[in-house]
Structure 1
Amino acid sequence: MTVGNSLRRWAPGTLLTSAIMLVAQGAFADEVNIYTTREPGLIQPLLDAFTKESGIEVKTVALKDGLAERVASEGENSPADVLMTVDFGNLVDLVEAGVTQPVKSEALESAIPANLRDADGNWFALSLRARVLYADKDLNDLTSFTYEELADPKWDGKVCIRSGKHPYNIALISTMIAKDGAEKTEAWLEGVKNNLARPAAGGDRDVARDILGGICEIGIANSYYVGLMRSGKGGPEQEEWAKAIKVILPTFADGSGSQVNVSGAAVAKHAPNKDNAVKLLEYLVSDEAQGIYASANYEYPVKPGAPIDPIIEALGPLKVDATQLTEIAANRKTAAELVDKVGFDE
């Protein structure tokens, strides 16, 4: 067989293989795959806006839980590019599970304060929700508040709160530990428990409901629920709950600011479309996307100066506590142990 005959014999197959590869690569280059534990409806407006701007199709896999386990089990064959979740503890868990990779991006680093992202670029906060005080609207003299005051005996029998084991409260307790140590935090937690008007249970919006019902006068809850109630998205009953309360942005006694939790995202370790994943994260911290977050979910933007929904803006300027989120996350186990030790949910 001559060399010429050999080339003619193999060329068609080679060309066909190359064509298939090019088609596959072309399709791959125009998509990004998200695994998320967030409600799909909450993030869809953002994803639609990203596709419209970039031409990159976004495919979403919604998971209730087990995000790290799913990606780890898929290994190098995982199609996941972006891992998106709520609560900075979950973001830290993704890193510890070894399913993320570090990203270096000037756009992300300039938009997101250092304490709200992983120091090595393994995850980034995308939006914020503050742990705020709901108070009876008739408490006219109450205009400011510290988290430490929840344990003040003057509030004996007047405090409502959800389970101490809920991630929202574990984050607050973990921040206390980071600031004051476990011993002082335990004493504070005992004081809060002694002030409870009812068992620590239910949800954040139940705090507003029970203030309206005269069960308690104050309670700690998340800021974005105020938007859901006051906007009418929670229904007319919840609008009435919202009318019964005023909202105060508490600080810690050291004056450092309000405790926040986040929604955030990471680039998956074996992301087949890493460049598109980074483009999506960078878009999500743009002014446009931050404004969509604010209007769709009543969350605070992570980017300073980005638009805020008028309902949330009316709560006043948010000063975010500067404690590094990874430092807070390291205290979660101790926080949960203290909740059990003082019988907070009993």
Structure 2
Amino acid sequence: MNNNLSYGAEALSTPSVSPRITDYGNGVSAIDADYLRPGLAAIHLVVEDGRAALVDTGTSSSVASVMEALRKKNLAPEDVAYVFVTHIHLDHAGGAGEFMRCFPHAKLVVHPRGARHMADPARLVASAMTVYGEAEFKRMYGVIRPVDANRIIEAPDGFTLDFNGRPLLFLDTPGHARHHYCIFDKKNQSFFTGDTFGLSYREFDVNGMEFVFPTTTPVQFDPVAAHASLDRIMSYDPAHAFLTHFGRIGHLPRHAGEMHDLIDAHVTIARKLRNVPDRHAALVEELGTLLLQRITAHGCKLPQEEIRDLLSLDVRLNAQGLEHWLDYTGGN
């Protein structure tokens, strides 16, 4: 690959960036959720004619950053009309209850499979505490508040919402999770994709070209559905995708092909290692090497140890997700 290539207008267009907020135009901004490290998780703010909506929430500790962003844009908490959670994993929806407490006029829009867990998050909390332990859970996610069921809107496949004259279409997009939707913003000809279009960290950008890779965690990875959801997104010929991890990406036909390839590569590694001793460690090693090789080939000049460090959490989680897929489906 010639890493000195220019990739057209997108490579030359630099979004406006403040320490916590990246403005992309057309009323869309990314707010850093302050989750674990800067640049790991974004909350997308959509503003249309004085009204605001938020896509994903981070955790309860993300509220301060969102309030700061609203103040900078001369918006009040009462101006927030909707909180959209693409799916109910806690790095995307853990702050929903706290957000709804702070935004008195907002409705929470959630996939039908996730709605009851937003109204009563006890099972979500118990499951996460089993994984992390109580102390680490509280450090990562803080308090998980329930949401009044009367303020919850379920968004099944094909659900449309008129956000102050801005049409939004909700598509059921399983693969990462069965309770996942993506939002097509017709005004932007773009999608808010949660985790369906993978992860892309700005540290790996090279000359305006992003690097994107899939996430298989924690317990509902379905490679067949993941491929189908990518194809469905691309059938709308979107200009951009807004990823929770992290921010806006372009060049979507290229990235969709790379995502398909990397989903298959993850599955191949999992099947190869399904019966080896210390399977988790073997998966972590091979997945880390796969992504390191791909990122290096992409042209990223960061030291290898820095790349591995940035990937370490996702590689461990992907290994766990693949193990669960192997154990519950036999890798089929």
TM norm. shorter chain > 0.5: no
TM-score range, shorter chain: under 0.3
Larger radius of gyration: 1
TM-score with structure 1 setting the length: 0.24
Q: More relative contact order in 1 or in 2 (CA 8 Å, sep 6+)?
A: 1
